[in-house]
Amino acid sequence: MSEKKPVLHVENITMQFGGVMAVNDLSLDVPEGQIIALIGPNGAGKTTAFNCITGVYEPTNGLVEFCGLPMVRNHPRGKMKKLYQGKDADKYAHDPAIAPTPDRITELGIARTFQNIRLWKSMTVFDNVLTAKHMRADQNVFSATFRTNAKEEKRMRAETEALLVEQNLLQYRDELAVSLPYGLQRRLEIARALATSPKLLLLDEPAAGMNPQETAELAAFIQQIRKEYDLTVFLIEHHMDLVMQISDYIYVIDFGSEIARGVPQEIQNDQRVIDAYLGVSEE
Amino acid sequence: MSAFIQANLPYLLSGISVGGQYALIAIGYTMVYGILRLINFAHGDVFMVAGLVMVYLTTAMPMYISIPLTIIITVLLGFTIERVAYKPLRSAPRMSVMISAIGVTYLLQNCALYFTGGLAQIYPTIPWLSDSVTIGSATTKMVTVVTPILTVVLVFALVLFIQKTKIGMAMRAVSRDFETSQLMGIKINSVISMTFVIGCGLAAIGSLLYFTNYPSVIPTSGSMPGLKAFVAAVFGGIGSIPGAVIGAFVIGICENIIKGLGSSWTIFSDAFTFVLLIIVLLVKPTGIFGEKATDKV
Amino acid sequence: MEKTLQKSPESKAGKLIAVVLIAALYIFLYLLDNVLPPNSFTLMLIPVLKKGAIYSLICVSMNLLNGFTGLFSLGQAGFLLVGAYAYSIFTIPADQHDAVYQYFEGGAIRFSVPEALGRVLGENAGNILGAILCIIFAGLVAAAFAALIGIPVLRLKSDYLAIATLGFAEIIRAIFQWNGLGPVTNGSNMLRKYTDFSDIQIGSVKLATAFPFLISMICIAIIVLLIHSSYGRAFKAVRDDEVAAEAMGISLFKHKMLSFVISSFFAGVGGALLAMYQTTIQANAFKSAMTYEILLIVVIGGIGSVSGSCIASFLYIACNEWWLRFLDSGSFFGISVPFFRDGFRKVVFSVLIMVIVLFFSRGIMGDKELSFAGLMRKHKKKATGGVEGGGQA
Amino acid sequence: MKKILAIALAVVMVMALAVPAFAADEIVIGVFEPLSGDNGAGGKQETLGIQYANSVTPTVEVGGTTYDVKLVVADNESSNDKAVSAATQLVASGASIVLGSYGSGVSIAASDTFGDAGIPVIGVTCTNPQVTEGNDHYFRICFLDPFQGTVQANFAHDELGATKAYCLGQLGNDYDQGLINYYTQAAEALGMEVTAESFPEGNSDFTSYLTNAKNAGAEVIFAPCSISYAQLIVEQAASQGIDVPITAPDTWDSNVVMEAVQGTDLDVYCTTFYAEGGDPDFEEGFKAYLNSDDTALANNGGNDMIAAVSVMGYDAYYTALEAIKAAGSTDPADVMAALPGTTYTGVSGAIAFDEIGDAIRDSAFIKQANTETGVWDFVAAQTVAEAEAE
């Protein structure tokens, strides 16, 4: 995995809510062009880690680099100085803290989906995807209002149309997004994320609530879009089949801390992982 | 120093008294908000109607009947408003319910206007409460002294009620999670009704104290105290009863101190209330005791 | 969606009908202002039309914020006030200053934009151009206030935002009433004698009613264009799901601010028009009750529906100030009714509002828009299949 | 749903269009008054005076024909933005002349509407100079604020011997602020010291302001404010034990204020248009009228005490009739032309108009509240000459 430079580099990320360590000293690398998975049992802190990367939360400590650029960086400050229980409290203390908002991070090229689908409920399928193109459009509020951006708007619409065709969603273009069946909503959410032209796609439990057949389709779909859009994919999942099938490399966390990392075969046979999932027997 | 206190005691006294009255109204706002997430704009007008009811009742019957009867009628009014104007909209968008509250405000004010003819009604003198007392350098009415004490007593009783009784527990459960408590078999309608009953009962007592101090009832009498009480509730963190009470006292006292600062300041006494509120909100976006809103991603 | 609409024949016909109707409206307004003899009907109609047009703009501007961006703001009255004052202060003729600013030695600002332009362009042209310039200026001042207020308060959420904006509106009102600013704002006293609708004419053609229609129609058209643009979609995204919007690269602060400033700009324009309509203004009138009234109209019309806001504005104004007045008169068709006395109108009116709120809780239009193409399609459907048509976008 | 709405609309439309048929010889006098809102109480009392006058003299003879006088009342809701449509309603009803309003703000706001329609208006108790200034169609039968402010200041200085005054008015109310302004000018010219403060709208706690007045060492409190605030100020001054005189303008001349003053130790004075007892016949008749009609009695605050504004309304009605007679026509333009020359001696004194359209009033009455009997006692009549001479 060292032959390619990592797109996403996470170093000593710690997220502490009051006295609870949701994520503890997590470090990982997501190399370009690969599919990397972060797995763990329910409540292990996977989504929190995602939220730290995408700027929804400001991590208590740690660094996130995207394509070599420090994107999020923090060290325990203010009240947290006393409360902090994690390691490496001083590691980043000498660098200024950076905490960009999620929209800035998306602009840099990271797009994400959500565990509990968050589509824009009053909009049609088409508008959901079109709206995601807003950020990349070359326009301002005046040119948009007075239609001097007509070319740009036309381009956005055409691209959206094309994206819908590629994702097999065209037949639903004028339907309300929330009226689609669950599986399609998931796919639409991915399509919407793709519309922001990301380099890195973060998928938060994309297979949640899907049956085995849908999951298999999804696996193929993820691999397909990675190729077509030249993406790097980082996903959270506890659907083992899917993860084992498509991942190039897997990180396992439990109670916020990493317990294992490796290629699928290694993880499959790792005792700690099995314990974490099945629970350690008491005797 | 003592001269300073001598000069400023009246401001402080009226501040505490006004604060107590705001507190009694603010509790109604904050309880309803806690459970229904509804800004019950009509609450200030329920307060005004309580004043009018008292005016009309005392012309017909002695004080010891009309006071409890006023409280009962106000409670019934609150109960009816909830059943007629809010309950049918429970599944409607939040904005609709709030508009319904504004509609009730219009209705109550306009009915009051229609029945009173718009003239200020003079509030009856309640014996003892209306007597003058002298405290240090300040001469004031007994009610000024009684209000904060009664407020604190009532709030304690209310907190006990919410902590100890079954229905109080149900209230806390509903305010934490409306849907789940419904699934847990809590009778949501009776909890909501109870909230309105308590809120309106306290507003009725508040109106007794308020109008004894300021004995003139006009159809818009409720708006300003209502707004101030609402500000107090937000200030303290809407949904929190101690927050509302503390907010009410802070606002009442500050407002009166501003009035004492001199002629160039007095005109800003209301504006100042809002400045204070905005500053608090900027530092603590959900008020002093408000729970931090977490949006689960 | 728009693309398909443009192609359909109904849409073309719908557009044609709309154009014809608008033309007919302006011809009617022209006749109303210039030709038709005043009778008891037209006399009452004119102020209702003027105020309805102005309120339409004000309500649509509030709808942009509350309905389309999902920002629960209650500061509208404050921005109306700023707009109304910004407009009037600069259009009071110089020789009227002593009379208007009677307690402030004629005030600090002693020129009038329409008058200055009038000296160059002639009185009528000066009035129109001056009025338009000052209306735009009014919008800009309101927008500037909004930008300043927005920086701190837009971080707040839902009800907290509402009460903070309400608070700012009250603070603005107190500041405008302050005697210290008297030479500019005339303190607690009213501003008057500024350019109003009756001064607006081209040649001998009076435009007293057409002018507010024109301005407010242009403004509403701009708002509609905005709503249907990329930014409008971003606003809706913010309303539907802030977290998702932010994750898709839509800056919450920037878009909330944009919506807040734009809405306030048009509220300022609305305030200026309101000042022109009233011929006098006083800060005292711009209370929170005014914001509630506007919010009420917006909700009655349907949150998220521009045409709903417009229809509701006209209905509300007409009911409140015209149709229901007979209820106060003490008699009905000449029959004396004992309970028809002062104030009964308002009781009936508030009952009416309650009925609408309770039984049409999504408003007259819901979040749909009135469109002729849609109406025709519906009509066709009914005629052919008898199928009850759904809503149209 | 849309159908129901459409039907409801149609019904309302039809009702609106049902223009009352004019009787052949009827003349309409418009009454432009606030019946709701802040000034609703005063507006109603003023309207009562007009209605009583109409019940006494329901006809007028013009050019040999007897016309029935029909009153059309329009509620301006004490609000400038409602004033225009209320005024338009009167224009639409075909009024030959309009009376009103209580409160200057609404009068100024509606002025252009009447002016454009060419209908003359007689202001009854709107005291702001701006009402008539520069308006040919607006006349008025009451005195003006500058006069009243001067009278008040003179009274405080000469009769009460005060050297320090404290003024308290409502923020944002032009009536209050205007009077304070004139009072301050006059008082300072007399060498008095004046402190002025304003309270925000909807305020009900005045103890702090009264304490301020005490701390400022005021020897007289001047409180030009509307009736409901007056009531609160009186009440709180009494419980605070304020012992300096409180003087107030015409708004306070109301039974509502009187009721609050009764039984206290306060020393309350007000200037007014009319002193009770000036015309026993009128008073007797008006009281009988009030007592015969429940609504009228309710509108008067539930008792039969006579407010000065009712008297002014009564006089305004007769002045209007005089003008119509003098015009010899029901046409508004003719009435307007006749008005400047119209004179009438009413219950409140002789009425004639100067070149601006203001009443040539030579006197204001100063009354003191009698805390025992609950009536206003006449103190002095101050004339213009006296006020201006000083």
DSSP codes of every residue in A52-95? HHTTSS--SEEEEEETTEEEEEE---TTHHHH--SS-TTTTTTS
Question: Chain A: nearest CA to C231, how far in angstroms?
Answer: 7
> D28, D71, D80, D170: best mutation site toward chain C, by most C Cβ within 10 Å?
D80
Domain match, D164 and D256 both: yes
Query: ipTM of the predicted structure?
Result: 0.88
Check residue C389 and give its pLDDT.
34
Nearest CA in chain A to B295: A56
Here the CATH number for the domain that contains residue D330 is: 3.40.50.2300
Domain match, D351 and D382 both: no
Between CA D247 and CA B286 the distance in angstroms is 47
Nearest-CB residue to C234 (from A118, A134, A147):
A134
Three-class secondary structure of residue D384 per DSSP: helix
Are B85 and C347 a contacting pair at CB < 8 A? no
Q: Which residues of D224-250 are buried (b: 16+ CB within 10 A; e: fewer)?
A: bbbbbbbbbbbbbbbbbbbebbbbbbb
Torsion of CA A203, A209, A215, A220, to 10 degrees: -30
Of D302 and B68, more confident: B68
Chain B environment of D194 (Cβ under 8 Å): none
Task: Provide the residue ranges of all domains of chain B, joining segments of one domain with +.
Answer: 18-222
Residue closest to B290 by CA, chosen among B226, B234, B228: B234
The reply to whether D11 falls in a domain is no
Domain match, D179 and D191 both: yes
| Burial (CB count within 10 angstroms: exposed 0-12, middle 13-18, buried 19+), residue B34 | buried
Which of A73-87, A124-138, C120-134, C142-156 is the least confident region? A73-87
Q: Return the residue matching tokens 């960009």.
A: A100
Are A56 and C243 a contacting pair at CB < 8 A? yes
Of B75 and C371, more confident: B75
Chain C environment of A144 (Cβ under 8 Å): 226, 229-231
Chain D environment of B267 (Cβ under 8 Å): 171, 197-200
Are B100 and C354 a contacting pair at CB < 8 A? yes
pLDDT in tens, chain A (283 residues): 445 578 999 999 999 888 888 898 899 999 998 999 998 888 888 889 999 999 888 899 999 999 988 899 988 888 888 888 888 788 888 888 888 899 999 999 999 999 889 999 999 999 999 999 999 888 889 998 898 888 989 999 999 999 999 888 899 989 999 999 888 899 899 999 999 999 999 999 888 888 888 888 889 989 999 998 899 999 998 778 888 889 999 999 988 888 889 999 888 888 888 888 776 654 4
Check residue B296 and give its pLDDT.
62
The reply to whether D13 falls in a domain is no
Return the amino acid letter for D10: A
Q: Structural domain tally of chain C?
A: 1
Of D385 and C381, more confident: C381
Domain match, D173 and D307 both: no
Domain match, D125 and D164 both: no
Are A103 and C241 a contacting pair at CB < 8 A? no
CA distances from A64 to A11, A59, A77 (A): 6, 10, 17
Return the amino acid letter for C120: V
The reply to whether C317 falls in a domain is no
pLDDT tens digits for range D316-371: 999 999 999 998 888 899 999 999 888 888 888 888 888 888 888 767 888 888 88
Check residue C132 and give its pLDDT.
94
Interface of D with C in 126-165 (CB under 8 A): 129-130, 133-134
**Helix H or strand E encompassing C195:** none
Check residue D222 and give its pLDDT.
94
Check residue A1 and give its pLDDT.
44
pLDDT tens digits for range C15-62: 888 889 989 999 888 888 888 777 778 888 888 999 999 999 999 999
The reply to whether D57 falls in a domain is yes
Between CA D295 and CA D360 the distance in angstroms is 34
Nearest-CB residue to B99 (from C157, C171, C357):
C357
The reply to whether D8 falls in a domain is no
Predicted TM-score (pTM) of the model is: 0.90
Check residue B158 and give its pLDDT.
92
Under the banding of pLDDT at 50, 70 and 90, the label for residue D256 is confident
Between CA B271 and CA C172 the distance in angstroms is 8
Are B119 and D41 a contacting pair at CB < 8 A? yes
- Domain span(s) for CATH 3.40.50.300 in chain A: 1-109+198-283
Question: Chain D: nearest CA to B228, how far in angstroms?
Answer: 11
Is the Cβ of A106 closer than 8 Å to some Cβ of chain C? yes
Domain match, D204 and D267 both: yes
Check residue C108 and give its pLDDT.
83
Range of the structural domain that residue D369 is part of: 145-272+364-389
Distance from CA of residue D302 to its chain's centroid? 19
Phi, psi of C287 (to 5 degrees): -95, 175
Question: Chain D: nearest CA to C69, how far in angstroms?
Answer: 27
How many Cα atoms sit within 13 Å of A281 on the Cβ side? 2
Domain match, D262 and D382 both: yes
Provide the pairing of β-strand A200-204 with A232-236.
parallel
Interface of C with D in 125-184 (CB under 8 A): 173-174, 177, 179
Under the banding of pLDDT at 50, 70 and 90, the label for residue D383 is low
Q: Do the Cβ atoms of B154 and B85 come closer than 8 Å?
A: no
- The runs of H, that is alpha helices, within chain C are 2-7, 9-34, 40-63, 76-89, 97-100, 113-121, 123-153, 158-177, 182-185, 210-227, 230-240, 242-247, 252-278, 288-301, 306-318, 344-359, 372-384
The reply to whether C18 falls in a domain is no
Nearest CA in chain A to C258: A141
What would the mean pLDDT of D70-88 be, rounded to a whole number? 86
Q: Structural domain tally of chain D?
A: 2
Between CA D170 and CA D172 the distance in angstroms is 6
pLDDT tens digits for range C246-275: 999 999 999 999 999 999 999 999 999 999
Kindly tell me the sign of the dihedral angle through the C-alpha atoms of D58, D62, D64, D68. negative
CA distances from D56 to A61, B121, D287, D312, D348 (A): 89, 30, 13, 15, 17
Between CA B256 and CA B246 the distance in angstroms is 16
Check residue A281 and give its pLDDT.
53
pLDDT tens digits for range C157-177: 878 898 899 999 999 998 998
pLDDT tens digits for range C198-208: 888 888 888 88
For chain D, the 3-state helix, strand and coil shares in percent, each to the nearest 5, are 45, 20, 30
Interface of C with D in 359-378 (CB under 8 A): 360, 364
Q: Residue D150 corresponds to which tokens in the numbers above?
A: 């001067």
Check residue C295 and give its pLDDT.
92
Of C341 and A263, more confident: A263
The reply to whether D7 falls in a domain is no
CA distances from C214 to C57, C124, C195 (A): 11, 17, 17
pLDDT above 70: residue D379: yes
Check residue D144 and give its pLDDT.
87
Domain match, D266 and D194 both: yes
The reply to whether D81 falls in a domain is yes
Chain C environment of B230 (Cβ under 8 Å): 163
The reply to whether C318 falls in a domain is no
Residues of chain B with pLDDT under 50: none
Q: Which residues contact B231 (CB under 8 A, 6 or more apart)?
A: B247, B251, B273, B274, B277, C163, C167
CATH architecture of A1-109+198-283: 3-Layer(aba) Sandwich (3.40)
What would the mean pLDDT of C351-357 be, rounded to a whole number? 87
Q: What is the DSSP string of D314-343?
A: HHHHHHHHHHHHHHTS--HHHHHHHGGG-E
Torsion of CA A70, A75, A79, A81, to 10 degrees: 180
Nearest-CB residue to B214 (from D44, D232, D241):
D232
Q: What is the DSSP string of C114-182?
A: HHHHHHHH-HHHHHHHHHHHHHHHHHHHHHHHHHHHHHHHTTS-HHHHHHHHHHHHHHHHHHHH-GGGH
Between CA A175 and CA A191 the distance in angstroms is 15
Interface of B with A in 258-297 (CB under 8 A): 297
Are C157 and B285 a contacting pair at CB < 8 A? yes
Domain match, D207 and D287 both: no
| Average of per-residue pLDDT values in chain D | 84
Q: What is the 8-class DSSP label of residue B284?
A: S
The reply to whether C336 falls in a domain is no
Q: Which residues contact B93 (CB under 8 A, 6 or more apart)?
A: C303, C361, C362
Nearest-CB residue to C323 (from D16, D80, D84):
D16
Residue closest to A9 by CA, chosen among A82, A61, A71, A97: A71
Phi, psi of B22 (to 5 degrees): -60, -40
Nearest-CB residue to D174 (from C189, C274, C328):
C189
Chain C environment of D181 (Cβ under 8 Å): 103
Range of the structural domain that residue C177 is part of: 42-286
Chain A environment of C219 (Cβ under 8 Å): none
Check residue C347 and give its pLDDT.
86
In percent, how much of chain C has pLDDT > 70? Answer: 88
The reply to whether D341 falls in a domain is yes
